[in-house]
Every structure is written in C-alpha cells, then in structure tokens.
C-alpha cells in the first residue's frame, strides 16, 4: 500500500458517503485513466446492447504491457471532453447498474494473496485518500464490509481473481512479452467475448479440449460462464492445463 492509502479491516467503519449533494459529484469520472477488466466489458457491452467488438472499437483503446505484452484495455481518451468517462452525465453514471468494478469499490482498493498450499484467497483492503473527493469524513454508520456488499462487487472480484490467476500463470510459464497468435488468443477469449462465442459454437474452437463438454454446456447458457470458459481455454491453449467445469 502506498502513502495515499490506509489499510482497513472489513469490520472498520467507513467514514465516506458519495452523494449528488457533494460539490465534487461526477468529478471522479473526469480526467480519467480508467482500465477495464474482461468482466467490466461483458457488463458494459450488454448494458448498451451491442456486441463486444463494437464496444471495444467505439469506446476503448488498447496498449500492451511493456514487460508482459498482455493487452491493457481502457476507455478511449477524449481531450475535448476533459478525458471524461463516455458514460458520465450531469445526473451521474448512465450505466450505473453495470459500472466497472473499480468504480463500485471506490474509495477502497483491493489486493489479494493466495495460499500456495490450499489456493485459498485472502482479501486485503485499503482506503484511497483522494484530496478532491468531498465524500470523506462523513459518518455513514456502515462498515467496510457493508460498503462492499452494497456495491454488488463480489462477482467482479471473483472474475478478476480468475483473470489474475491467468496472468500469474503466464508470468511463471511464459515470462517475457506475449506476442503473435498467443497474444491474439488471449485478447479474443478475455475481451472480445462475442467473437470468442462464434469461434466456440460455430467454428469448433473447443474440439481440441477433451474435458470441456460440461464447461461448454454451461457457457451456452450464460455469458459469465462463457467468460469463465475463455479463461479456462487460455490456460489450456497457452499453458497446457486441464479444462475443468467451473463452479
């Protein structure tokens, strides 16, 4: 945690309240450098009722991590709009029900540690000190745990943890820059979900995976399950791990 963060416990009181009554309302959605996770993109493109390819083309830009070569997706910057989020309005967020996980969690930051012996994940939280935010110091009567629950962020955390597992595998098994077809496969399965669906269900992408039948059936019923399948396919296709049905 850096000097602008203070570690907090889930049982600590959260002295913070975001409200249109705050003079800074919407300011955090401007001068923005907003990174998007695969699950963020799934929720946003469905909110807008467009496919993933169109969403990525219209609203995002991509660069590659200088050491890993992994794609990094963020909102497309628009200097004319003050680098504002494309979905912020005078009345707040126009995609609030499906806003990104980092927006939901603010003013908290989350990190995890994973046990090598059991694989169990332990969560760690910190309070982000943003001097421009007027929501701090307000008594809310809520614990950190209550705030997390109220923001419906746990599914985002679960999916992001699955993504981090893939990144850890990549850095362990394939250190250095991911380039060429492996990089294209990573982007397809993580971010361009509608194109991945077509490859799976129309072009037989999963026929190479003998243990993927149950995962494939679940993916046909839910886009969240399809994204989980994408993660499992990357692990198999790039790192040689077995595809298991996801809980």
**Domain shared by 44 and 83, yes or no:** yes
Average pLDDT score over residue span 75-79: 88
Here the tokens at position 57 are 């083309």
> Is 244 within the bounds of a domain?
no
Domain termination site, one of 109, 131, 156? 156
Domain termination site, one of 156, 175, 204? 156
**Domain shared by 46 and 108, yes or no:** yes
Say what the pTM is.
Answer: 0.90
Nearest in space to 237 (alpha carbons), one of 176, 174, 164, 194: 174
pLDDT for 2? 45
**Domain shared by 90 and 51, yes or no:** yes
| CA 217 to centroid of chain Cα atoms | 24
**Domain shared by 151 and 163, yes or no:** no
**Domain shared by 10 and 121, yes or no:** yes
Domain termination site, one of 111, 131, 156? 156
**Domain shared by 112 and 166, yes or no:** no
**Domain shared by 189 and 152, yes or no:** no
**Domain shared by 115 and 204, yes or no:** no
> Is 18 within the bounds of a domain?
yes
Q: Which position has the higher pLDDT, 240 or 160?
A: 160
**Domain shared by 196 and 233, yes or no:** yes
How many structural domains is the chain composed of?
2
Query: Which of the four pLDDT bands, split at 50, 70 and 90, describes residue 156?
Result: very high
Residue at token pair 């419906």 = 152
Contact (Cβ atoms closer than 8 angstroms) between residue 75 and residue 58: no
Whole-angstrom distance, CA of residue 161 vs CA of residue 158: 5
**Domain shared by 47 and 162, yes or no:** no
pLDDT for 243? 58
> Is 52 within the bounds of a domain?
yes
Domain hosting 147: range is 5-156
pLDDT digits (tens, 9 = 90+) for 113-146: 888 788 788 999 999 988 888 888 877 788 999 9
pLDDT digits (tens, 9 = 90+) for 170-218: 999 999 999 999 999 999 999 999 999 999 999 988 876 665 677 788 8
**Domain shared by 148 and 223, yes or no:** no
**Domain shared by 183 and 170, yes or no:** yes
């Amino acid at each position: 945690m850096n000097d602008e963060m203070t570690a907090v416990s889930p049982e600590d009181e959260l002295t913070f309240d975001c409200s249109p009554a705050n003079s800074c309302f919407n300011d955090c959605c401007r001068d923005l450098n907003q990174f998007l996770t695969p699950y963020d993109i799934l929720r946003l493109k469905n909110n807008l009722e467009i496919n993933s390819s169109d969403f990525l083309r219209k609203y995002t830009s991509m660069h590659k991590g200088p050491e890993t070569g992994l794609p990094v997706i963020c909102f497309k910057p628009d200097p004319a709009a003050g680098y504002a989020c494309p979905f912020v309005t005078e009345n707040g967020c126009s995609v609030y029900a499906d806003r990104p996980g980092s927006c939901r969690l603010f003013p908290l930051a989350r990190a995890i540690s994973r046990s090598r012996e059991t694989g169990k994940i332990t969560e760690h939280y910190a309070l982000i000190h943003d001097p421009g935010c007027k929501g701090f110091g307000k008594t809310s009567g809520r614990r950190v745990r209550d705030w997390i629950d109220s923001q419906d962020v746990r599914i985002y955390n679960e999916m992001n943890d699955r993504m981090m597992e893939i990144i850890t595998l990549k850095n362990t098994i394939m250190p250095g820059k991911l380039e060429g077809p492996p990089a294209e496969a990573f982007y397809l399965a993580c971010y361009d979900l509608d194109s991945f669906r077509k490859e799976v269900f129309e072009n037989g992408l999963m026929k190479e995976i003998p243990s993927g039948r149950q995962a494939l059936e679940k993916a046909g019923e839910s886009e969240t399950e399809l994204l989980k399948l994408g993660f499992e396919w990357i692990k198999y296709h790039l790192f040689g791990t077995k595809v298991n049905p996801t809980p």
